[in-house]
Amino acid sequence: MSRLDRIPDGVVHRLLIDPAMKRDLASSFEYFIEVNKVHIAMLQRIGELDARTASDLNTANDDILGEGAQALPFDPKHEDLYFTIEAAVIAKVGPEIGGSMHTGRSRNDILATIARMRMREELIEVLELVNRLRDTALCLADRHERDVVSGYTHLQAAEPITLAHYFAALLEAIQRDHQRIFATAERANRCPLGSGAMASTTFPLDRDFSAEALGFDGPMDNSLDGVASRDYAIEALGALAILTNNLSRFAADLQVWATAEFGYLEVDADIAVTSSIMPQKKNPVTLEHIKAKAAHVEAAWISSLTALKSAPYSHSRESSVESLSWVWKGIAEAKASIELFTHTLDHMSFDTELMRRRASMNFSCVTELANGIVRDQDLSFRTAHHIIGTLVKDTLAAGRTSESITAEDIAAASENVVGYRLHVSEDMVVKALDPDQNAQARVTRGGPATKETGRQRRVEKDVLARDRASVARLIKQRKEGQAMMKHRKLIPTEGRQRSDRATIG
């Protein structure tokens, strides 16, 4: 009997217990069984359970797992999924054997362990999605290594780059996203099991064994921190908020490029929708959803952060339940955003000829005219900037485009600015105003020249290979823990006396 002589009333059940049961049955049922079985094996290993008891408990848990979450009887007196599963075990093996499963542990460390297990699996899925996106971006960069497009600042034509340079920028951003998410996964990959309610336990638990069997890097070092900490959830959502914010910004570019006014790209019909009234419409809606989902992830992050900010640093419902309430939804939205972005990149085509033609006409190449004046004349860049600014103003006033500019035009503009005519070569003007030659001349590290973007892509491919290996290590560690339990040997012990003969094979 507990201190309470009545079960939670209908309001508490309707608003708190029943929704939590539904969520946990859908998401945590198998984790509960796995944690049970690892804890049973550990207790048998240290001699706190004899082999027959451990075997009976394992069989009961296996039976419950096989029957499925839907077969669990729901009783209002059971507050949550943990007590529901424990009651099902007791129904199969009796109160003495079934009750021994809880030796040396608490719901507090069980819930903390399951949350970290789930977070690890979720982040591994995110990392794999991110790496597939990186593959897609690399393919696009390879395919368009020489295709010129105007770069933009303030949504105004700025300087010529290549599509390869643009997608290399995407790769740099999501590489940093991968680093943040992977670092979070590593920090979350510590096992709280054995922390008890908050002060550990007087039973001689083998916490290293439990951590290894559950695929963790090791146990958490402080039992209070073990049950209190949910900062990894905030960190995960923060990293995902940055990721989805990055994707939103790239999606905004692509959405502008897909307008008729730009006409740089077109999405395939199978990822677009039309209008109910305007038959000409081909709306790139995936880009709109990608932008909006960034807001959902940020909202989930704020929810988790503020739910924790005044919670005592121990176990509480704020930390163990409420702080995680929107975490999983936020992660789901981030995964949807990444997958949608990858799918959209796979289903779009670029009008590279139009991109090049615009870059030759929209004055994005004229900065190189100023650079040429600095190299060929005894003038500062600021003076050269004034001359070319005057040239652009005069050219626009005459209703001409940048491709029409000649050496004579520069001479006339310089006379207005510095009082004498500069004599620049026509060859310099032609090379500067040709968007292909302009972009290919930008060989400084980080620039859009094909040689340099090729180096960037080689670096990205190497980093991607290393990142994939790091994710594979997390997956392998998890599988090794599962294999360790699958092939365990429960060696008989004398009663509940500790025995060093208990081993896991």
Helices and strands, number each (H, E), in the chain: 21, 4
Q: Which domain holds residue 387?
A: 358-440
Domain with residue 434: its CATH number is: 1.10.40
The enclosing H or E element of 117 equals: helix 107-143
* 464 domain-assigned: no
Q: Which residues are within 8 A (CB) of 372 and not within 5 positions of it... i.e. 6 or more apart?
A: 424, 428, 429, 432
Q: Taking a C-beta distance cutoff of 8 angstroms, is the pair 53, 103 a contact?
A: no
What distances in angstroms separate CA 465 from CA 124, 132, 427, 470, 471, one per listed residue?
A: 15, 12, 44, 9, 10
pLDDT band (50, 70, 90) for residue 103: very high
Domain with residue 125: its CATH number is: 1.20.200.10
**Does the pLDDT value for residue 285 go beyond 90?**
yes
CA torsion, points 188, 193, 199, 200, in degrees to nearest 10? -140
Give yes or no: residues 76 and 28 share one domain: yes
Q: What percent of the chain has a predicted confidence (pLDDT) above 90?
A: 82
CA 17/CA 79 separation, integer angstroms: 6
Q: Taking a C-beta distance cutoff of 8 angstroms, is the pair 347, 261 a contact?
A: no
| Average pLDDT rounded to a whole number, residues 358-371 | 97
Bridge partners, residue 266, by sequence:
349
Give yes or no: residues 370 and 342 share one domain: no
Q: Pull the structure tokens for residue 282.
A: 């081909």
pLDDT band (50, 70, 90) for residue 350: very high
Give yes or no: residues 24 and 125 share one domain: no
3 state DSSP class of 328: helix
| Average pLDDT rounded to a whole number, residues 202-230 | 97
Q: Tell me how far the alpha carbon of residue 34 is from its chain's centroid.
A: 26
**Does the pLDDT value for residue 489 go beyond 60?**
no
Q: Pull the structure tokens for residue 403.
A: 């491709």
**Does the pLDDT value for residue 490 go beyond 50?**
no
**Whole-number pLDDT of residue 76:** 67
Average pLDDT, the chain: 92
Better pLDDT: 495 or 21 = 21
Reported as half-sphere exposure (CB side, CA atoms, 13 A), residue 243 has a value of 35
Q: Which one-letter amino acid corresponds to residue 323?
A: S
Q: Taking a C-beta distance cutoff of 8 angstroms, is the pair 374, 387 a contact?
A: no
Better pLDDT: 277 or 498 = 277
Task: State how many domains the chain has.
Answer: 3
Q: Which residues are within 8 A (CB) of 463 and not within 5 positions of it... i.e. 6 or more apart?
A: 175
Give yes or no: residues 284 and 261 share one domain: yes
Q: Does the pTM of the predicted model rise above 0.85? A: yes
**Whole-number pLDDT of residue 274:** 83
* 494 domain-assigned: no
CA 72/CA 82 separation, integer angstroms: 11
* 382 domain-assigned: yes
Q: Which of 123, 167, 175 is nearest to 346 (CA)?
A: 167
Q: Taking a C-beta distance cutoff of 8 angstroms, is the pair 289, 296 a contact?
A: no
**Whole-number pLDDT of residue 378:** 85
Give yes or no: residues 330 and 272 share one domain: yes
Q: Tell me how far the alpha carbon of residue 413 is from its chain's centroid.
A: 52
| Average pLDDT rounded to a whole number, residues 333-353 | 97
Q: Which of 197, 195, 210, 215 is nearest to 46 (CA)?
A: 210
Give yes or no: residues 305 and 182 share one domain: yes
Give yes or no: residues 192 and 58 share one domain: no
Q: Taking a C-beta distance cutoff of 8 angstroms, is the pair 337, 244 a contact?
A: yes
**Does the pLDDT value for residue 64 go beyond 60?**
yes
* 65 domain-assigned: yes
pLDDT band (50, 70, 90) for residue 272: confident
pLDDT band (50, 70, 90) for residue 322: confident
CA 411/CA 420 separation, integer angstroms: 8
Q: Which one-letter amino acid corresponds to residue 465?
A: A
Give yes or no: residues 266 and 296 share one domain: yes
Q: What are phi and psi of 267, to 5 degrees?
A: -85, 150
* 278 domain-assigned: yes
**Whole-number pLDDT of residue 89:** 96
Dump pLDDT digits (tens) for 409-450: 999 999 999 999 999 999 999 999 999 999 999 999 999 999
Q: Tell me how far the alpha carbon of residue 325 is from its chain's centroid.
A: 19
| DSSP per position, 405-440 | --HHHHHHHHHHHHSS-----HHHHHHHH-HHHHHH
Give yes or no: residues 336 and 369 share one domain: no
Dump pLDDT digits (tens) for 81-100: 888 999 999 999 999 999 99
pLDDT band (50, 70, 90) for residue 27: confident
* 469 domain-assigned: no
Q: Which residues are within 8 A (CB) of 244 and not within 5 positions of it... i.e. 6 or more apart?
A: 290, 293, 294, 297, 298, 333, 334, 337, 338
* 191 domain-assigned: yes
Domain with residue 84: its CATH number is: 1.10.275.10
CA 91/CA 85 separation, integer angstroms: 10
**Whole-number pLDDT of residue 491:** 42
**Whole-number pLDDT of residue 493:** 41
**Whole-number pLDDT of residue 2:** 59
* 204 domain-assigned: no
Give yes or no: residues 273 and 319 share one domain: yes
Give yes or no: residues 298 and 370 share one domain: no
Q: Which of 241, 253, 252, 248 is nearest to 166 (CA)?
A: 253
CA 98/CA 107 separation, integer angstroms: 15
Give yes or no: residues 194 and 244 share one domain: yes
